[in-house]
Amino acid sequence: MDLDHLTVLFAIGAVCVFIMVTVLLYQRHKKEQARFALEAEKNDKLQTQLEAKARQALKDAVEAGTHLPTGHKRCLVEECPLAATKPGIVFARGEGWQDYVKRLFGAPPRYTVKAKKKGTEPDLCEGHQPLAREVAKERLARHEQKRVTLMMEEEAELAHFEHVGLISRTSELAKKAREMGGRVVSIQQRRVGG
């Protein structure tokens, strides 16, 4: 089996190319490993910095009294040592179609007491949320009482004016018109031209 010079040269060239490609791939692999190691080191440093900032923020929050050492938010009620696990309480305005129709015809808005929407950060502990709800209901009742009292006072004042004030005010205006030399003319007489 005689090998041709050209075939031998081709085989040697192929082996050289194969070795060069292998060396290049190995060098590229080493560079990627070094780059990945650098990125991992940077990520570790960044993670360490973020954890240190989070620890410092928690320490500051604990010192400020807004959080517990466990990282949970403290109940907003003064001097309550428990973690906030329940949402806060808010006044919600009626937003249904019935409320819209009532407001359309002049009814005042109606408010109810509700817990904040889900997904918000908790504000109260399990023991203080029912108490806060009752305090809010009491305040809402006082608000409603003020509104009713105001409406009753306005109605009483209007009724008093209707029986007493209307005639006296009309008399005052008529007297003033006579003093100025004019006479009182009704609106119907003004239209007719009399």
Q: Is residue 117 within 8 Å of 87, Cβ to Cβ?
A: yes
For 81-118, how does the pLDDT look when each residue is reduced to its tens digit (9 = 90+)? 888 889 999 988 888 888 888 888 888 888 889 988 88
How does DSSP assign 165-184, residue by residue?
IHHHHHHHHHHHHHHTT---
* pTM for the full predicted model: 0.56
- Tell me the pLDDT of the chain averaged across its residues: 85
User: Letter for the amino acid at 136?
Assistant: A
